[in-house]
Structure 1
Amino acid sequence: MRPFRPMLLLGAATAMLLAPAAATAQPGSPPSGSPSQRIDSGQAVTTDQKALTTGHVDIGPKMVDGKWTLMVHDDSTDPSVWRHLDRTVFRISDKAVLPVPDNPAYSFIGAPGKSVHVVPQVQNPDVVWVGWNTQDPEVMDTIDGGVTLTLTGVDGPGELFVYLQAGNFGAADVLWDSTKDTRQDIWVEVNTHTHANWVFTEPGVYLVRAEVKAELVDGRTVTDTQTLRFAIGDATSTDAALAAAAAAPPAPSAQAAAETPPAEGTGSGSPLLVAVIGAAALALAAGIVVVVMRGRSAKKRALGTEK
C-alpha cells in the first residue's frame, strides 16, 4: 500500500474545474490557502438526522465512549458537532453540476461535456464541502502513526470518482474509483485534514461503504465500517437516502481468504481529480501551502508537546 500524498492543484483554463486543497493541519495560524483546523476535545456527538447541504464537513475516526467510530465532523454549525453517518445525508444539489473537461486526462470520468455532480477540493459555497481528517484529540493520542481509510463498495445509479490533481498538469491522482471491484486504501497520517474532488456521474442515491482502521499505541488494532449516504441532484429524496439499505459486500473467494490474513485491510491507494475555474483558481492554487507532518512528530506538534 503506498502512502497517501497531499498534492497541490492548478486549474485548467478550458473548463470549469476545481482547485485542489490538500494539507496537513497544524496548531496556531494556518498557512495561507490551506484547510487547516484544530478540533477541540469535548465536542458534542449529536444523534439527530441531518441533511448536510452546504458548509465544511469531514469524515474521520472518533473515540465515542472509548469505542473507535467512523463519523462526520460537522463544522457547518456553531459550535461544531460530530454526527453519526447512518443518520446523515450529504445532499448535493444541481448547483454542483459541471461538464467533464474536453481533455483525455479526464476520460475516466466520462465523455467530454457530460454533466456530472462535483464536490470540489476547493470550497464551493453552494455545495457541502466533504473532506476527511484524523484530528479527534483522543484519536491523535492513541493511534500509532495514522489510519487506513478504505473504500469497500459503492451502490448507486452511476460511478463515483474521488481524486486529487497534480500542480504540474500531471494525471489525476485517483484515490477511489467505483468501477474497480476491489478494496481501495488511502493511508492518512495523524493530524491530517484533506479535501479532494468527489465526482458522481449520475443523479440519485449513492451508498458509499468506507472502513477506517488503525494500530493503536497499546498494540491493539481497531476497525469500523460505515455507509456514507449521498443524495445527488435536486430531484433525489433525502428520505430515500436515509432509508436505503447498502448491499452486503461479496464474500471473499477461498483463494483470497487464504491469501489475506484475518482483519487485515488490503488494497492500493488509487489516485484521483480536480479542475479549476480560470484565473481565480490559479490565484487560489498559487496561495496554497501544503504542509506534511509525519507520525509521532505530527502528533507532538498538534498537542503542543514537541520541544
Structure 2
Amino acid sequence: MRRVLAVFAAAALLVPAGAVTAQGQPPPGDGLDQTIDSGQSVATDRKVLSQGHVDVGPRFTDGEWTLMVHDATSDPSVWRHLDRTVFQVSDAGVLPVPDDPAYSFIGLPGTPVHVLPQVQNPDVVWVGWNTQDPEVMATIDGGATLRMSGVDGPGELFVYLQAGNFGAADVLWDSTKDGAQEVWVDVNTHTHANWVFTEPGVYTVRVEVTADLVDGSTVTDSQALRFAVGDATDVEAAFAADVPAPAPGSASAQPAARADEAAGDGGGEGGGPGLLLFAIGAVAVLLLAGVFVVAARGRAAKRAALSARDES
C-alpha cells in the first residue's frame, strides 16, 4: 500500500486551540522550518533519545546512501546511526483512545496507549522525517519512498496524520496490515506525525528509503527504528532486539525493485490515512495555511542545489 506525501508535506500540523497566530501561521518555534547544513557531523556513540526534535531521513555517508536520524537535540545537531539509537517513549506520552468510532481501529475508547504526537510535546521525543540533507536534495530525482516493511513488538503501531480539519484519521503505516506500506516524500520535505503504540515494550520497525537519482541510478537502504515504550522497558533490550524480516515485495526482499513513479491514491499530507486527534488537554485544530508552498519550495531548493553543483 502506497501513500503520497507531497503537496501537504510539512505544512500541516496539529496545534492546541488558541495557539495559531492571527495570520493563521503556527507560533514561532514549531520546529518545522529547519535547514540542515552540509557536512554535519555523524555521531558514532550509542544514544537514547527521550525528548526533543529528531528526524529520520536519508543522507550520503562516505558516498553511501544511508537512512539515519538527524538529532537536533544536540548542539550543534548531528546525524546518528539507527543501529546505535533507541527512541524512548516514556509514560508521559500515555493517552486514552478517544471515544470516537473513527479511532476504533486502535482499541476500545479509554484504552491507554503511548503516543509520540504530531505536535511537539516537550515531555516525549518528537519523531519526524525529512529529505533535507543538501547532497540528497542535489541528487534525488523529485523525492524518495519511505517504506515500512516489518514491525516486531508486543502490540500494534499506527503512524498517521490528519487530512483536514477534524477529518477522518488517515493512517500512513499500520502494523496490523500485511505487506510493505509506502509513503512518497518530496525533496526538501520535513514532516511530523503521530506514532501510537498499543502496548509497552520493545518495538523494532524496519524502514527502507528508496530514491531514483538524477543520474538514472536507484539507491535503497534498510534500517531498523528501535523503540523502548514505557518507563519500565529496558533500553538495552531495545538495542539488542532483532530486526524484523522484510515484508514480501519490499526493497529488502527484492533488492532490484524500483520505487513506483510518484502518483497518487489520496491527496493531502501523506495522501493517506493518518492522525489521531490527540491534543493534550485541549481541542486541536489542523493548520493548513501555506500547504501549496511546500512542494514549490522543495522543487526550487532542488533546482538551486543542482545549479550550484553544476557551477562548481
The offset of 1:165, in angstroms, is: 1.1
CA contact (8 A) 2:211 2:259 kept: no
The offset of 1:299, in angstroms, is: 1.6
Report the counterpart of residue 131 of structure 1 in structure 2: 128
**Matches of 1:54 and 1:70, distance apart in 2:** 21
Report the counterpart of residue 4 of structure 1 in structure 2: 5
**Matches of 2:33 and 2:307, distance apart in 1:** 16
* CA RMSD in angstroms, aligned pairs only: 2.9
AA aligned to 2:108 is: A
Aligned residue among 204, 208, 224 for 1:207: 204
C-alpha distance 58-303 of structure 1, shift in aligned 2 (>3 A)? farther
Aligned: 1:92 with 2:93: no
1:98-137 map, 5 Å: 98-137=95-134
Aligned residue among 133, 154, 159 for 1:157: 154
CA contact (8 A) 1:134 1:193 kept: yes
Aligned residue among 227, 246, 271 for 2:224: 227
**Matches of 1:219 and 1:162, distance apart in 2:** 31
**Matches of 1:92 and 1:61, distance apart in 2:** 23
Report the counterpart of residue 296 of structure 1 in structure 2: 299
AA aligned to 2:300 is: S
The offset of 1:169, in angstroms, is: 1.6
Aligned residue among 246, 263, 279 for 2:257: 263
The offset of 1:197, in angstroms, is: 0.3
CA contact (8 A) 1:166 1:173 kept: yes
Stretch moving more, 285-294 or 193-202 = 285-294
**Matches of 1:251 and 1:71, distance apart in 2:** 23
C-alpha distance 195-82 of structure 1, shift in aligned 2 (>3 A)? same
Report the counterpart of residue 249 of structure 1 in structure 2: 246
Aligned residue among 163, 170, 173 for 2:170: 173
Aligned residues: 282
Aligned residue among 167, 191, 195 for 2:192: 195
The offset of 1:300, in angstroms, is: 3.0
The offset of 1:304, in angstroms, is: 9.2
CA contact (8 A) 1:9 1:167 kept: no
Aligned residue among 263, 271, 274 for 1:272: 274
Report the counterpart of residue 27 of structure 1 in structure 2: none
Residue ranges of structure 2 left out of the alignment (5+ in a row): 20-26, 266-270
C-alpha distance 171-68 of structure 1, shift in aligned 2 (>3 A)? same
The 3-state SS of whatever aligns with 1:209 is strand
CA contact (8 A) 1:9 1:166 kept: no
C-alpha distance 303-241 of structure 1, shift in aligned 2 (>3 A)? same
The offset of 1:264, in angstroms, is: 2.7
Aligned residue among 50, 75, 85 for 1:53: 50
**Matches of 1:75 and 1:94, distance apart in 2:** 22
The offset of 1:296, in angstroms, is: 3.3
The offset of 1:69, in angstroms, is: 0.1
**Matches of 1:138 and 1:196, distance apart in 2:** 25
Stretch moving more, 240-249 or 68-77 = 240-249
CA contact (8 A) 2:59 2:67 kept: yes
AA aligned to 2:302 is: K
* TM-score, length-scaled by structure 1: 0.83
**Matches of 2:185 and 2:247, distance apart in 1:** 26
Aligned: 1:44 with 2:46: no
**Matches of 2:72 and 2:182, distance apart in 1:** 25
Aligned residue among 59, 64, 71 for 2:68: 71
Residue ranges of structure 1 left out of the alignment (5+ in a row): 14-18, 20-29
Report the counterpart of residue 147 of structure 1 in structure 2: 144
Report the counterpart of residue 216 of structure 1 in structure 2: 213
The offset of 1:239, in angstroms, is: 0.3
The 3-state SS of whatever aligns with 2:56 is strand
